[in-house]
Structure 1
Amino acid sequence: MAQTTAKYHCLVTAFGPFYRYTEDHNPAWLAVEPLTNSIIEDEQNNVRPIHVSTLQIPVSYQAVMDVVPLLHQHPPVFHPSIADQAAANHVARPQKGYDFILHVGVAGRGALRVERVAHKFGYNMKDIYGRQAPVVETAPVAVEPDDPGDVPAGVLHIAPPQGESPQIEEPPEPQPVEPIRPKRGFGPGYENFQEEVYSDVNINNLIRNMKQQGFEDVYLSMDAGHYLPDFIYYCSLAEVIRSVKPYERRRGTQVLVVHVPPVGQPLTSEQVTTALKLIITWVCSELQSIDDTLAKERFQ
């Protein structure tokens, strides 16, 4: 089926090589790649066809900042660093943007983790290029110097008895001071965004549906890890917030981050791919319900 016949457009990203995952062996990409330029159909649940595009994103803070905001444009724009890959993967560029963007990263052994919240700050770990997230400059706080003659209200000042000298204590030994880490994360252009942003997807219902479909190894997570998957989550959600105006009667792009385990710990790549299909199908079925409701309201 040609992608132009699809009702919904989903973009799935996965991270590329890093640390022990060389070449294309990142478990996230191994599970995502089979979805490249595919159509998901679920006639049993009357879900409209979904075209799935895939992209591999470098494990780099700068790459995320370069690539992700452009993917949220209408239509999406491909940064020069991924343009050749987008062409090779036949990545769609829907005029109204993607309906659903799913970012996939790798975590430790265990079940799939569907992340709920993304963080603005706290990115101290280095990416594959040995770089950290940008330092966010904070305005210095003006502090009035203390007046030695001031006595706090409610404190009784007792002078030494006449003829006696006040006792002067020896100054304490200086204690080692740990260096203060600079705040790293999202700075200029993100001043009006909260320190935590949340996905609009009803993750509890999503997980319940996945388990009803027979996929048990999945749970909701409130800690995306303050690394690249968390970073791309915040960047992506911020663009959704930025693009949707309060007066517009339309829904925004849905965004999720899912962490997958290393291959075989305990899930195979094929099992993870199946789980990603379940996630895509359920989210798009929810979008279909929203769209049908909005369509009815327009004709009333």
Structure 2
Amino acid sequence: MGDYGPASNHSTEPSLATAPDISVLITGFGPFKTNLVNASSLIAKSLPGSFTFPGPGPTDRRVILHVHPDPIPVAYSSVRESLPVILNDFATANQGRRPDLVIHIGIASPRLYYSVEHLAHRDDYNITDIDGRSGYEDGEKRWKELGLPPILCPGKAFVAIKEQNDQRSHKGPKSGPYPPEGHFLETWKANASSGLDLRISHDAGHYLCDFIFYTSMALATQQGQDRNVLFLHVPGAAEDADVERGREITLALIKAMVTCWIDEKHCA
């Protein structure tokens, strides 16, 4: 499961003054229910192996994209079992390092816009997956036993539960790099074509999208790592033009994550 393929540079060569490379792990989902083709995996597979864009000061940023080659089955047990393996394979191939950033992509078929999720839920995964199972045994029960909070948001390691509750009610501080808020959204939009409908969402849906988002942040929390994780919801349409649009929006999102969560945090 660890073969991500070689990273190729689809942009101009970096300048002589370069900042350290940024690694990004990206996953998409497989088909489920009436969605015989899942646009999320098509968008993930359309991404380049790497790209370069201006970084802070005189430096350039080279971003290496590691797209997991297999769509993740839309099943709670599959997410619970496969995500730790995917992250472990990444670390094994990268001298023990976790990816700097993680993006999970999934579809929200009724939506016509693209949304980044602000938070993930621990409980109430009652909608059955492709195996006909709910998410209680694979998620809520285990997470409660580990003492994890009802809500996890992108953020620094070991954020207090009180701060999690503040973020849930949207009363938390807005000036920092976490979680994605107004400044993050504007940075995302600035890196994409004008007129695209990009939003921040506060309801990931209590299904597999929400589940993998919480799983990913829970693993980072247990390992004492920053939760540099986002979930991107895309429309369900899977024509070539839709995939190309999703590709552009995902690349713009990665640039926003690097700018807001890495460069601006280190400059603060």
TM-score range (shorter-chain normalised) is 0.7 to 0.9
Match of 2:140 in 1: 186
Query: Which position in structure 2 is the counterpart of 1:147?
Result: none
Task: Give the conservation status (yes or no) of the 8 Å contact 1:119–1:231.
Answer: yes
- Structure 1 gaps of 5+ residues are 78-91, 136-183, 245-250, 295-300
2:264 and 2:123 mapped to 1: Cα distance?
A: 33
Letter in 2 for 1:61: Y
Q: Cα distance, 1:288 vs. partner?
A: 3.7
Q: CA RMSD in A?
A: 2.9
Distance verdict in 2 for CA 1:231–1:94, change over 3 Å = farther
**Counterpart of 1:210 in structure 2: which amino acid?**
W
More helix by share: 2
* Conservation of the 8 A alpha-carbon contact between 1:12 and 1:53: yes
Distance (whole Å) between structure 1 residues aligned to residue 45 and residue 82 of structure 2: 19
Secondary structure of 2:91 counterpart: coil
What runs of 5+ residues in structure 2 fail to find an aligned partner? Answer: 1-5, 15-19, 156-177
Q: Does 1:271 align with 2:242?
A: no
Report the CA distance shift for 1:203/1:253 in structure 2 as closer, same or farther (over 3 A).
closer
Matching of residue 64 in structure 1 with residue 79 in structure 2: yes
Q: Aligned residue for 1:96?
A: 97
Distance in 1 (alpha carbons) for counterparts of 2:26 and 2:200: 19
**Number of positions where the alignment pairs a residue of Structure 1 with one of Structure 2:** 222
**Length-normalised TM-score, structure 1:** 0.66
List aligned pairs for 1:127-276, cutoff 5 A: 127-135=129-137, 185-188=139-142, 190-191=144-145, 192-200=147-155, 201-204=178-181, 205-213=183-191, 214-215=193-194, 216-244=196-224, 252-263=226-237, 268-276=242-250
TM-superposed CA distance for 1:287, in Å, is 4.2
Query: In the aligned structure 1, how far is the partner of 2:78 from the partner of 2:125?
Result: 15
Based on CA coordinates, which of the two structures has the bigger radius of gyration? 1
The answer (yes or no) to whether the contact 1:15–1:29 under 8 Å persists in 2 is yes
Aligned with 1:280 (options 231, 237, 254): 254
CA gap of 1:234–1:227, structure 2 versus 1, over 3 A, is same
Q: Which amino acid aligns with 2:198?
A: V
1:59·1:228 contact (CA, 8 Å) conserved in 2?
yes
Name the CA distance, whole Å, in 2 between partners of 1:126 and 1:8.
Answer: 36
User: 2:245 corresponds to which letter in structure 1?
Assistant: Q
